[in-house]
Structure 1
Amino acid sequence: MPGGRLTPEDRRQIAAWLADGLGYAEIGRRLGRPTSTISREVARNGASGDYLADHAQQAAGHRARRRKRARPAEPATDGQPTEVVRGFVDQFATLLAATGLPRMAARVFASLLTADAGGLTAADLVRRLQVSPASISKSIGYLEAMELVVRQPDPGGRRERYLIDDDVWLRAWQADTGAHGEIATAAQRGIEIFGADTTAGARLGKMGQFFARLSEYMSDSTLTDAIVYDALTVLAALVHAGRPLSLDTLATALDWSQDRATAALDAIHRQPAIADPLALRAVGPTTYTLTTRPDRLSPAQREALDK
């Protein structure tokens, strides 16, 4: 088979053609092999310039057995053979790539995820993944920008080691939560622009509801009980007044400082679920009122209630 290992028949043909005085290039052409393959074969297995097919085949067999015996045992990782670990890394990288992570970055991340506590160097990653240093560098840069990977100096040399620290999931969680909240807020603005009873408004309402819920469920809220209590008090004040109230009016009526009233209003903005099913709406630079949450009622329901 062209390109594969030489067979006993190939070696008999080489011996015969050499005896006929053919050159390496012609023998290679007839066998469909590079000239270098023929010259290397004769140089390794020819004895004093005399190439014998049987001797060449035996010598090739001895070399193959020596390579097999010298091959080091596959190292184990956490009790699992390397091939099993590699299979897991490839499968896990495929799953990560399906979420939008670039394929190469996913492979690097999965490799670091399954490495020991000391992480890996760029050279380690090149050897493990059998890719170019440039590919590793580009992927590391991508993962660092997402704060999924950190680098530390290698205690034993001038190289840097890359690893996944214990806070990576919290950072990723918080980043996603913030992005989801921003999308929900943008959707609410869109509803106000297009109107809740328009096609665009209805779509934005569903999207806003989804991302608002996702943000609320994922959020590891840092709001204290006191802030939440103040936020509920502000909501009660606006409901009781039944009209828009300015920040000054709220603070005066509740006998609070402006900072306290501002903190309560900010808490409602950051955690819209506090006001559910109502929503805080600014009607001026520092004036607020309450409205129904846009995603709580469909356009048809609103129309029916307005009759």
Structure 2
Amino acid sequence: MTQQERERIAAGLADGLSYAEIARRLDRPTSTITREIGRNGGPSGYRPQQAHQATTQRARRGIPAPPRAAGSLGGTMTEELIEVVVRSGLPRMTARVHLDLLLSEAGRRTAAELAQRLKISPASVSVAVNYLVEQGFIRRERDPQRRRDIYVVDDEAWYNSIVTGRRQTLETVQATMAAVETFGLDSPVGQRLAKAGAFLERVSLDMIESADRWRALLT
């Protein structure tokens, strides 16, 4: 890979492009781009000049790319998934915790296991899992013998997250309609809020109805 190509990769990351889009623009396989970024600092630490120098040195010495730390999230595909989730609005640390649970064979881990695997503090784990539980992405189980929490992601998580999110939206709709009464339907503000509330209510109810209708696909 040339220095110019690496400069274009850095520019694509700065513009928020996906790995697949960067690969398409360079006419390279997506796996090549994800591997290049993953072994040279990741999406937030990628520097084209340093990446080019490091690759040149490895080629001269015959030294392979440095291995990933044991127990960390591995694989370029996982890194790309994290970037996709982050762009959808989930905080990066929360996205890492969520994906580690999703990609675990049993779909469950303790807080200590998450902290050890991801090399993060227990406090960071606590913030992430509390958010994920609140949003319905995972659930919390109690291990009575060892007196510890176990965090679980299962097939129902997708249903729960959709329903939880839409119910939160409906709470916003209630507050919006209360504001409509305050401003009055005759006012421009009241009319604007009423339209927004009606739209959000209809969409949210439709999504809950659809989730209920297709819930059996998860069982």
- The AA in structure 1 aligned to 2:86 is T
8 Å CA contact 1:90, 1:107 repeated in 2: yes
Using the TM superposition, give the Cα deviation of residue 108 of structure 1 relative to its aligned residue in structure 2, in angstroms: 0.8
Partner of 2:175: 186
CA offsets per residue over residues 140-162 of structure 1, 9 Å max, x none?
23322333222346799776532
1:40 aligned residue: none
TM, length-normalised to structure 2:
0.52
**Deviation string, structure 1 residues 267-295 (Cα, Å, up to 9, x no partner):** xxxxxxxxxxxxxxxxxxxxxxxxxxxxx
**Runs of 5+ unmatched residues, structure 1:** 1-64, 222-307
How far, CA to CA, are the matches of 2:144 and 2:177 in structure 1? Answer: 51
CA shift in 2, pair 1:130/1:217, >3 Å: same
Task: Please state if 1:83 is matched with 2:83.
Answer: no
CA contact (8 A) 1:191 1:205 kept: yes
The 1:83/1:214 distance shift into structure 2, 3 A limit, reads: same
CA distance in 2, matches of 1:153, 1:188: 40
Any idea what the Cα deviations from partners look like across 1:54-94, whole Å, max 9, x if unmatched?
xxxxxxxxxxx9xx8xx89x99x9xxxx4234323432442
Give the unaligned 5+ runs of structure 2.
1-61, 211-219
Cα shift readout 1:101-127 (whole Å, capped 9, x = no counterpart):
333222211221222124223333223
Kept in 2: contact 1:180–1:214 (CA 8 A): no
Where 1:219 maps in the other structure, the secondary structure is: helix
The change in CA–CA distance for 1:175 and 1:90 in structure 2 (over 3 A counts) is: closer
8 Å CA contact 1:152–1:161 kept in 2: the answer is yes
Q: Is the 8 A contact 1:93 1:110 kept in 2?
A: no
Decide which of 129, 134, 137 is 1:148's aligned counterpart: 137
TM-score (norm 1): 0.39
Q: Is the 8 A contact 1:150 1:163 kept in 2?
A: yes
Say yes or no: does 1:172 pair with 2:161.
Answer: yes
Contact 1:92/1:110 (8 A) holds in 2: no
Q: Is the CA contact 1:118–1:161 (under 8 Å) kept in the aligned structure 2?
A: no
Higher relative contact order (CA 8 A, sep 6+): 2
Q: Partners in 1 of 2:81 and 2:121 — Cα distance?
A: 18
Is the 1:94–1:106 contact (alpha carbons within 8 Å) kept by the matching residues of 2? yes
CA drift of 1:204 comes to 0.6
1:94 aligns with 2:86: yes
Cα 1:133–1:219 shift into 2, 3 Å: closer
Q: Whose radius of gyration is greater, 1 or 2?
A: 1
Q: State, as a whole percentage, how many aligned pairs show the same letter.
A: 34
Task: Give the helix-richer structure, 1 or 2.
Answer: 2
- Matched residue of 2:140: which SS? strand
Report whether the alignment pairs 1:197 with 2:189.
no
Letter in 2 for 1:84: T
Measured in 2, the distance between the counterparts of 1:186 and 1:157 equals 43
Instruction: Trace 1:1-307 onto structure 2 (pairs within 5 A).
Output: 82-95=74-87, 98-99=88-89, 101-152=90-141, 160-220=149-209
Q: 1:173 to 1:198 in 2, by over 3 A?
A: same
Indicate the SS of the match to 2:120. coil
Assess, with a 3 A threshold, how the Cα gap between structure 1 residues 178 and 122 changes in structure 2: closer, same or farther: closer
Within 1, Cα distance between the matches of 2:179 and 2:141?
44
